[in-house]
Structure 1
Amino acid sequence: MFTRPAHTLPRAVTRSAALLGLGGLLLAGAVSAGAVPMSQQIPEPEEVLAERQADEAAQETLTEDDLPDGIDLGTAQELIDESEEITADDLRYAEAVEDLPESEDLSFYQTPAELPESEGELIRQREGTFYLDPLNLIEPEAEVTTFMYRTTDSNDSARAATATLLEPEDGSGRVVVQAPGTQGMADECAPSRQLAAGTEYEGIGIANALNAGYTVVLVDYIGLGTEGEHTYLNRADQGHAVLDAARAAAQVEGSGVAEDSPLHIRGYSQGGGAAASALELAAEYAPELPVVSGSAGAVPADLPRVAENIDGSLYSAFLLFAIGAMAESEGIDPAEFLNAGGLQALESASEQCAIQAVFSHAFTDSSTLTLDGRSFTEMIREEPFASYLQEQNLGQPGRAPEVPTLINHAPLDDVIPYAVGRDMGSAWCAAGSAVTFEATGVPTHLGAYLGSMPRTGIFTARMFDGRSPVDSCWRL
């Protein structure tokens, strides 16, 4: 473990995690520790969750200096008062992240004029970086490689996508393919870029996987970093990107990943949907991959039901992400259904990462953004939305994993209804899949993300060891 000398850190970084970003909590007990083994520097998810909950209980008054661009003081204070998830330090962290310098050579992400013929074929690679904090003070000891590969989108078009391979010094040869949760729509939101900046909230899970001796493949998805709009929540795009990243990782020069290295595919939230899609598609799309198991948390398996739950909520930005993705995938002009305000909101969201977008568009009344005054929930019940969204649903007949899969979902999830994840599990069981279902006993979407990590780690280890999964199908 390499640890840089401790500096005086901004309060935003040392006190709390960001909403959807845990870099601050990772630093809270680590920077002052000095050069100690990585396992002692990375807090357990339970510790992170406990500190997060303690911080939520001590709300504070904000000042203008605490806020990211585009958020006024009154709105920010109202956001904290009304939300069970956001703290004052979340906003301070967002402001700190917003001011990070841009020093990266982005030519690596440019798609070449010609793409390889085969799915999952490696295009290029370069040395990468993984920091656990936005001040780049803590750099886990791992070999990091960013790579570009060929994949295929839902329109059967060849696309370039990127991912990151992280290998521990004394790895077990087992590989975790990590599908990340919602990152945002702007190219700078790509996980490979956020790993280098120390702002990737999946960092805590990656660090703990490395600690367990696993190699990690972290996927960027189509349109994050590379050309075009990110096709957020597109089932085929995400599933293909995950499986093709696993294929390409075995081609990375100098890596310890082999074609027969056992794979576990995992993810939460958007990542849960991407992991679930990859698990459903694996037998047909990538039958040669040695996938032994998977885990999918808080899966947005039924997008219309998720949309109804978050329309006008703290997470209104996620609907804008989905509208932008659909327009990209289907070649639809948003001006056909959005008014000037709606088009402006869509453009704004397309240029933001998740944390800034959530703050900027929280509690938006979507009926004020449409030409005919319908809410997004009402609008998507009709074409061209209805059939597109139906195609994105998971757990449909004929689609189910052929490997043991853990589903984590919290009954008190405030973003993705618990029944959505449970219904997907039931559908998989009906198709003959081996499903372990865990009702995470932690409230809120973010809280349940942290709460699900220990159980996911146990399940992953058991499946890699060839043990039998717990069967939950009898109660779903």
Structure 2
Amino acid sequence: MTTMFTGTRRGRVAALVGAALLTTLTTTAVGTSSAAAAPPPPQSDPFYQPPSGYESTAPGTVLRSRSVSIAAFGALPQKIQAWQLLYRTTDQKDNPQATVTTVLLPWGARPSATRPLLSYQVAEDSAAPQCAISYQLRQGAGNDNIVAQAEILLINAAVQQGWAVSVPDYEGPRSAYVAGRQAGHATLDGIRAAKNFAPLGLGPQTNIGLWGYSGGALASGWAAELQPGYAPELNIKGVAEGGLPVSPKNVLLGANRGPFAGIAMSGIAGLSHAYPELAEFMDTYLTTEGKAAFAKARTQCNHANAGEFAFKDLFKYFSIPDPLSRPVPQQVLAEVTMGQHNPTAPVFVYHSVNDELVPSADTDAVVKKYCAGGSRVTYQRDILSEHIALVITGAPDALNWLKDRLGGQPVSNGCSTKTVVSSIATPKALATFGIVIVNNLLALLGKPVGPADMI
């Protein structure tokens, strides 16, 4: 017992120290982000507009590309090779759509057909176009979506492995937050686009991984479910999903009137962008105050909505009691609930037992469903974390698991579930965490991102 407590305390101290060091640099970055000229946001940037006739191209077709400069928190330039690809994908209603992914290579790396590819899905969690990660990663973008911007630290950790990385705008041009099929399609087609992009030099049998937490896990999880039918040619070796929001309805009910009510507000707004019938329902039944509130939520990113709508009762914005009991919301929420298909790629799921935003019972249930259907799932339940803490403390195990999969190490058939005191309280996780922290501090200070033999 003493050993377990000591390891757990050491892990928590390491997480706090690392977070403090990174906060010092990122606070400086936030204070200076306005110094660089801001690029035009997606709604004003012609690059995001697809060419005429793109609808007839195959999903994953690269429609346009450009090289870009990446900056952490809009201010700290990252020495990393980066391009943006506009590509054809498919929306929630199975209609053609175009969106953007940012693809990355280690500094100094040459194209390679044997290089693994990781698709990293950030938690955009917003219903406004300027919140897209393709914009938020650029120099001078400001800090409207600083929560998503912070995930550059995990993106850099992936590039540091020598991998190519795709970071898709999986919500698409309409910022359809919570639209699962849309997110899954855009993630898979972003992988196709990366494979089709000659400067990366990826091969037809490139080993592919996916990773995301919270909103990013929603996209990763839907991609894993849809891949056998939508993109069976992709050689996906593993999918890591943390803080998995299986049931948006249950997240909404739990968040309402609490500190995360603003995230639920963004989710409803995002779904109204994907479902015209929901937008019409809201236009019919929202009060005047409710219409003004949702109009504002559609213009703001995650942390602004989280602050403005915290502890609000969102149902009071409607003129009818219990709006979720009506047929249109019921149908929409049923369609965006996970567990409709079984992943064939191996899956690593990590979730806090005490998650205050995303119910762990829903994740328990979908894992059981996957396993009953023959999926290969490694499920790790964490006791000492909560939703936000596990982003940090769960990342080392997710990264190590992906390294094994992309390195060619297979997983056993079947499923395994374990409950741990703290994911970070193992020597391997702590060592990985320390390496990630050091490499990110160096990257934030201007050191090239990538393995030493490539820079």
TM-score for both structures, normalised by structure 2: 0.79
Q: Which residue of 2 aligns with 1:389?
A: 333
**More deviation in 256-265 or 209-218?**
256-265
Q: Which residue of 2 aligns with 1:210?
A: 159
**Alpha-carbon deviations, 1:406-428, whole Å to 9, x = none?**
00101121110111212111111
Equivalence map 1:72-221=2 (5 Å): 102-104=38-40, 106-115=45-54, 116-136=56-76, 138-139=77-78, 141-168=79-106, 169-170=108-109, 173-197=115-139, 199=146, 200-221=149-170
Q: Which residue of 2 aligns with 1:367?
A: 315
The answer on whether the counterparts of 1:48 and 1:450 sit within 8 Å (CA) in structure 2 is no
The answer as to 2:206 corresponding to 1:270 is: no
Structure 1 residues 339 and 324, CA, compared in 2 at 3 Å: closer, same or farther? Answer: same
The answer on whether the counterparts of 1:339 and 1:370 sit within 8 Å (CA) in structure 2 is yes
The answer on whether the counterparts of 2:170 and 2:219 sit within 8 Å (CA) in structure 1 is no
Paired amino acid for 2:38? E
Q: Which residue of 2 aligns with 1:37?
A: none
The answer as to 2:16 corresponding to 1:50 is: yes
- Specify the SS of the correspondent of 1:149: strand
Q: Which residue of 1 aligns with 2:425?
A: none
Structure 1 residues 194 and 53, CA, compared in 2 at 3 Å: closer, same or farther? Answer: closer
Greater fraction helix: 2
- Alpha-carbon RMSD: 2.8
- CA–CA distance in 2 between the matches of 1:326 and 1:193? 21
Structure 1 residues 354 and 121, CA, compared in 2 at 3 Å: closer, same or farther? Answer: same
- Specify the SS of the correspondent of 1:160: strand
Paired amino acid for 1:161? T
Equivalence map 1:254-269=2 (5 Å): 254-269=199-214
- CA–CA distance in 1 between the matches of 2:298 and 2:163? 34
- CA–CA distance in 2 between the matches of 1:101 and 1:438? 44
The answer on whether the counterparts of 2:125 and 2:263 sit within 8 Å (CA) in structure 1 is no
- Specify the SS of the correspondent of 2:209: strand
Size of the aligned set, in residue pairs, is: 388
Shift of residue 237 of structure 1? 0.3
- CA–CA distance in 2 between the matches of 1:317 and 1:98? 26
TM-score for both structures, normalised by structure 1: 0.75
The answer as to 2:208 corresponding to 1:242 is: no
Equivalence map 1:229-378=2 (5 Å): 229-332=174-277, 333=280, 334-372=282-320, 374=321, 378=322
- CA–CA distance in 2 between the matches of 1:157 and 1:201? 32
Q: 1:415 aligns with which of 318, 342, 357?
A: 357
Structure 1 residues 407 and 338, CA, compared in 2 at 3 Å: closer, same or farther? Answer: same
Higher relative contact order (CA 8 A, sep 6+): 2
In the alignment, structure 2 segments of 5+ residues that lack a partner are 1-10, 419-455
Q: Which residue of 2 aligns with 1:440?
A: 382
Structure 1 residues 153 and 134, CA, compared in 2 at 3 Å: closer, same or farther? Answer: closer
Structure 1 residues 475 and 183, CA, compared in 2 at 3 Å: closer, same or farther? Answer: closer
- CA–CA distance in 1 between the matches of 2:28 and 2:387? 21
Shift of residue 472 of structure 1? 7.6
Q: Which residue of 2 aligns with 1:24?
A: none
- CA–CA distance in 2 between the matches of 1:311 and 1:453? 28
- CA–CA distance in 2 between the matches of 1:256 and 1:208? 21
Structure 1 residues 475 and 445, CA, compared in 2 at 3 Å: closer, same or farther? Answer: closer
Q: Which residue of 2 aligns with 1:33?
A: none
**Alpha-carbon deviations, 1:156-210, whole Å to 9, x = none?**
2100010010011347601111122134222211111111147512101011111
Equivalence map 1:49-68=2 (5 Å): 49-51=15-17
- CA–CA distance in 1 between the matches of 2:13 and 2:69? 26
The answer on whether the counterparts of 1:250 and 1:259 sit within 8 Å (CA) in structure 2 is yes
